[in-house]
A and B are shown apart, each in its own frame.
Chain A
Amino acid sequence: MTPFAFDVAHMFAGGLVLVSLMMLYQDRLLPLINVLRLHSLLLTLSVAWQAHIQQLPDLYVTAVIAFGFKTVAIPIVLRRMVLRMGIHREIEVAVSTGLTMLVGIGLIALSMDLMLRVTARAALLVREDVALSLSVVLLGLLIMVTRRNAVSQIIGFMSLENGLVLAGTGASGMPLVVEISVAFSVLIAFIVIGIFLFRIRERFDTVDVQALDRFRGERQ
């Protein structure tokens, strides 16, 4: 592999981590959706680049899914949903931004240290990819636990999933990546459809998941 090919792959993967960090401090939904779009676009570029340098044409399918579904379709649906529900002005602060950012940086350091150490035997690009993708996965989890809104939880989950696809495409010639990314797309589609169908807004008057907890546990 040429150093140039490596640098470009590295840049896309590192970009994903940076965009994940950007998600952490977006406290309004519409900008958050835009950041998700950027995240998915970077994933598309990264996957397409991997398909090119590893000469695995299958991965172009994953790239097309990442673009058509995650960069275009889902953000549009989410945006429409947020506007229709009239929650685009709401600010959700569960944990202070500074603290979340600090935790996020800690998670990145942790995953770098851990993954670079255990993947000593693998090729350099694979090591970098897996380490960066673990950071994206952990940051996605962090977004999910610090948000209370159902829409931002989905966005957190989607960024987490982008990290997994990054790991899958980076892992040298892993088979079934396409199938797995399709399976994930179906999962996300169901979550989004689920919000629509279950009409969380109508049933609960909010998409704030904390309102769901009213019904938690035993029936009184």
Chain B
Amino acid sequence: MSLLPLNPVSALLLTPLVAAAVLALVQDYRLSARVNMAASAIALLFAVVLLRGHPPVTRFFIIDDLNIIFILLNTLIGLTTSIFSASYIGHELESGRLTPGYLRFYHATFQLMMFGMNLALTANNIGLMWVAIELATLTTVMMVGIYRTHEAIEAAWKYFILGSVGIALALFGTILVYLAAVSVLGEGLGSMAWSNLLQHATALDPALLNVALIFLLLGYGTKVGLVPMHAWLPDAHAEGPTPVSAVLSGLLLNVALYALLRFKMLIEASPGAIAFGPLLILLGLVSLLFAAFMLYRRRDIKRLFAYSSIEHMGIIAFAFGMGGPLGNFAGLLQMVMHSLTKSAIFFTVGHVAQVKGTQRIDEIRGLTTSHPVLGWTLVAGVVAIAGLPPFGIFTSEFLLITSTFARAPVLAVIAVIGLLVAFGALLFQMNRLAFGEPTGSNAAVRASYVPIFVHLALVFAAGLYLPSVMVGWFQNVAVLLK
């Protein structure tokens, strides 16, 4: 293991860790918001360095074509969220919902959470990855409960209990994978390293892997927010601060998904093990259909988009479950596009909720009249997330549906029904929010539009044209995922 200061992997991990320590000491919230942004920018820089050349695999860390996608996305959205958060918390402080003391805690926890997620993504060890995901869960629980209202405490408690049970089941699965590996690779760290496990996947005991699969799917599936293990997700999104909602939807769900994908690669490579794909397809379709119907009855704007996240994680799980070069490609693209779009939507919704002083959809009307820029941005975001062209989600959903029609028409029909139901619900809710007679406050917003526009511009550009470098890269990963 090399921990040289020049190693970009350790730099990527140390930056948020050092930043968290510094932020725990800084009193002035303006300064800490800036430190937060700077640390996130530096982390992004190191992620780009990693993209340009993967360092060799070490005992604890691995960087390959698969996880670098997640790392880049993670650090990019980390940066834009920290920019959004700087303007968001200013308002929360003025309205008295948060105090400077809590903000210090908030900033330090934010960086700690980024550390946990980056560690989970770079880890070459199934045990280390588990510890990192637990850390990321803990930090988000604390941030969800930060407002100390009835609802926030309930949401944090529910997230705590369900998340802990999920993570406990995932650990049991992890131990079983280790047991399967021990008889082949011998005792020690080598039997927990992804790089070794994948090489020797064919020799692992399929019976043990089958049992491990169930625990891993239930455990990490809870963190992905797949139905029926999703109960924590809407509450946690709705009651925490909006930057946390953006990070939960945009990043944390992906990190858990990444864990599932790695285990899927391992288990599918073992000839005697039961197939992972059909299970993912089942959970994915159930999530998609369930969330699509739930979208109609939402009264809380953040809860609405939380259910939309469940819907999209369902689509993504379905895509990876279908597998094959096209399915995996569509899944990866959908995941990147969903993260960018959903966090942009949460940024917008955060400003909307602040200016209107409510999250109730009934009390938010005619946004395009009262706040044209914010209103139209929300419209663009919802159009993108609903899967309309010319945005990137259309591309990935189109690819997924067409490729599924060729292989399993029945599944494609079910997926299309889910997509259409969700589409109708989102447009119906958007119509209520954005158009009609404006209600509520007309006060001017001090919004930070840059992060929102950057995200939407990326999604828009991806819908029009995918650079061939990116296509080639995603194709490589799709082959890697089988």
* A218 interfacial by beta-carbon distance below 8 Å: yes
Closest to B130 in A: A180
Residues A168 and B175 in contact, CB atoms below 8 Å apart: yes
Instruction: Determine if B127 and A179 form an interchain contact, defined as CB atoms under 8 angstroms apart.
Output: yes
Minimum CB–CB distance for A207 against chain B, Å: 10
Instruction: Please tell me if the beta carbons of B134 and A134 are within 8 angstroms of each other in the complex.
Output: no
The reply to whether A164 and B175 form a contact with Cβ atoms under 8 Å apart is yes
CB-based contact B161/A153 at 8 Å: yes
Does B282 count as interface, using CB distance less than 8 angstroms? no
- Interface status of B182 (Cβ within 8 A of chain A): yes
- Contacts A119-B208, A130-B179, A194-B157 given; indicate if A172 touches B134 (C-beta within 8 A): no
Task: State in angstroms the CA–CA spacing of A67 and B310 once bound together.
Answer: 41
Among A120, A130, A180, A219, the residue within 8 A (CB) of B207 is A120
Which of A44-52, A73-81, A85-93, A183-191 lies at the binding interface?
A: A183-191
Contact A219 to B172, CB < 8 A, known contacts A153-B161, A171-B178: no
A198 proximal to B (CB < 8 A): yes
The distance in angstroms between the C-alpha atoms of A5 and B167, with both chains bound, is 32
Residue among B148, B182, B205 having the largest count of chain A Cβ atoms under 10 Å: B182
In whole angstroms, what is the CA distance A171 to B141 when docked?
A: 31
Q: Does B262 belong to the interface (CB within 8 Å)?
A: no
The CA-CA distance from A191 to B142 in the complex, in Å, is 10
* Known contacts A167-B175, A180-B131, A218-B299; A122/B183 CB under 8 A: yes
Cβ-defined contact, B182 with A122, below 8 A:
yes
Chain A positions within 8 Å of B169 at CB level: 137
Complex CA distance for A198 and B142, rounded to whole angstroms: 11
Contact of A164 among B138, B153, B156, B172 (CB under 8 A): B172
Query: Does any Cβ of A come within 8 Å of B150's Cβ?
Result: yes
Is there an interface contact between A175 and B188, defined as CB atoms closer than 8 Å?
yes
Residue of B nearest to A183 (CB): B131
A-B contact count (CB 8 A): 125
What is the bound-complex CA distance between A122 and B158, given in angstroms? 38
- With A183-B135, A219-B299 in contact, is A173–B188 under 8 Å at CB? yes
Segment at the interface with B among A6-14, A28-36, A97-105, A110-118: A110-118
Within 134-169 of B, Cβ neighbours of A (below 8 Å) are at 134-135, 138, 141-142, 145, 148, 150-151, 153-154, 156-158, 160-161, 164-165, 167-169
Residues of chain A lying within 8 A (CB to CB) of residue B178: 171, 174
Q: Does chain B have a CB within 8 A of A84?
A: no
Q: Are B210's CB and A171's CB within 8 A? A: no
Chain A, residue nearest B234 (CB): A217
- Nearest residue in A to B205 (C-beta to C-beta)? A121
Q: Report how far A121 CA is from B179 CA in the complex, Å.
A: 10
- Specify which chain B residues have a CB less than 8 angstroms from the CB of A141 in the assembled complex: 165
Contact B211 A118 (CB under 8 A): yes
Determine how close the nearest CB of chain A comes to the CB of B18; give it in whole angstroms. Answer: 20
User: By the criterion CB–CB under 8 Å, are A216 and B154 in contact?
Assistant: yes
Closest-by-CB residue of B relative to A118 is B207
For the complex with contacts A118-B207, A153-B161, A190-B141, 12 further pairs of A-B residues with Cβ separation under 8 Å are A117-B207, A120-B207, A121-B205, A126-B179, A130-B176, A137-B168, A150-B157, A172-B182, A173-B182, A186-B138, A191-B164, A203-B153
Identify the 6 closest CB pairs spanning chains A and B, nearest first.
A173-B187, A176-B127, A118-B207, A218-B299, A212-B154, A198-B153
8 cross-chain CB contacts under 8 A: A173-B187, A173-B188, A175-B188, A191-B160, A203-B150, A216-B154, A218-B297, A218-B300
